Copies of this chain bind each other. A is one copy, B any other.
Amino acid sequence: MKLVTLLFAFTALKAFAMTPLPKTPPVPADNKMTPAKINLGKILYFEPRLSLNGTISCNTCHNVMLGGEDNRSVSVGVNGQRGGRSAPTVWNAAFHSVQFWDGRALSLEEQAVGPITNPIEMGMPNFDVVIERLSSIEEYVDMFKKAFPKDKKPISKVNIGKAIATFERTLISGNSPFDLYKSGKKSAMSKSAIRGMKLVEETGCLACHSGSNFSGDNKMGEGNFQTFPVFAENEYVKKYDFLKDNGRYETTQKEEDKHIWRVPTWRNIALTAPYFHNGSVATLEEAVKVMAKVQLDKDLNDKDTADIVSFLESLTGKFPKIDMPRLPSTPKRSILDVK
């Protein structure tokens, strides 16, 4: 065997690997995890006053008490507004190499600040107003100082992102039946799930959904981008209106980015219905059939579909306990509108 063939085989093997979830995710060098930052980020994550009218927090759409999102097709932002894309799960988001459906944020830090000033999500007019509001709450002034002791202006857009991202890096749900199986506990997965595990490999799903997060083990910021749908001439694409949203093109305006998307995780996917970027597919069974058809042009039978679904269910992890934070008070006044 020639060296080049060997190298190719090794690369292919790596690309197709399914591995247990590490206990800790990658952490950027300029945003180390500290208890003060985790604490602040957690409070900010549940803070509805980060939205224009005090009604929407990060957790509203990315609900950690559920599967890290809201089980809605698309979320509802300030004043009942709806966007076009379904909220991705926050659980294990730290293992995604890029963020948002179209991967336009290269880090959790960058992602975390996006929705705050998105007019249909949290609706704040700009970060000057966000910073002014947080600065008017004494406890936040203290917490930002503790979390960013070297900064002259601790309350900043960058630090809001850093704190929230730091908390999000604690939202890891390992110890799924798959993880236990991989660590030697063979009884953790059902026969059907084990068959499904082989099927996702044979069918070709792992070409994209590989690694510990089943979203490709790419370097942070690099992204694992793929065309969706690959095969557009079938009933599903029309039925679920998959071509309406241009994917990454909407951000980059580059022709080659039309219908390019980030490969999303499979972890906890049984908890995050409805499915796809537009939340148009109601059940996991249907989602599996749709993916096989529109990405690989394969028609899965009911038996194989059921086994793959069993496998995907074995990726539901254990969720760490979270103490409910107390949010800083604004004694004797509200910082929200009084009308």
Q: For A335, what are the chain B residues with a Cβ–Cβ distance below 8 Å?
A: 71
**A2 close to chain B: CB less than 8 A:** no
In the bound complex, what is the Cα–Cα distance between A90 and B15 (angstroms)?
52
Pair B326/A65 contact, Cβ less than 8 Å: yes
**A274 close to chain B: CB less than 8 A:** yes
Pair A71/B330 contact, Cβ less than 8 Å: yes
Contact flags (1/0) for A316-334 with B, using CB distance below 8 Å?
1001011111110111111
Q: Smallest CB–CB gap between A37 and chain B, Å? A: 19
- Number of chain copies forming the complex: 2
Given contact pairs A323-B321, A324-B64, A332 touches B54 in the complex (Cβ within 8 A): no
- In-complex Cβ contact of A49 among B71, B279, B282, B313 (8 A): B71
Categorize the interface residue count of chain A. 35 or more
Select the residue from A49, A324, A326, A330 with max chain B CB neighbours within 10 A.
Answer: A324
In the bound complex, what is the Cα–Cα distance between A321 and B326 (angstroms)?
9
Summarize A's interface: helix, strand, loop or mixed: loop
Pair A273/B48 contact, Cβ less than 8 Å: no
Given contact pairs A273-B334, A339-B73, A55 touches B60 in the complex (Cβ within 8 A): yes
Pair A72/B53 contact, Cβ less than 8 Å: yes
Q: For A313, what are the chain B residues with a Cβ–Cβ distance below 8 Å?
A: 331-332
Pair A54/B67 contact, Cβ less than 8 Å: no
Q: For A309, what are the chain B residues with a Cβ–Cβ distance below 8 Å?
A: 332
Pair B53/A283 contact, Cβ less than 8 Å: no
Given contact pairs A273-B330, A273-B332, A326-B319, A76 touches B63 in the complex (Cβ within 8 A): no
- In-complex Cβ contact of A324 among B72, B78, B284, B323 (8 A): B323
Pair B271/A333 contact, Cβ less than 8 Å: no
Q: For A271, what are the chain B residues with a Cβ–Cβ distance below 8 Å?
A: 329, 331
**A79 close to chain B: CB less than 8 A:** yes
Which A residues fall within an 8 A CB radius of B? 46, 48-49, 53-55, 60, 63-67, 70-73, 76, 78-81, 270-271, 273-274, 279-285, 309, 313, 316, 319, 321-327, 329-339
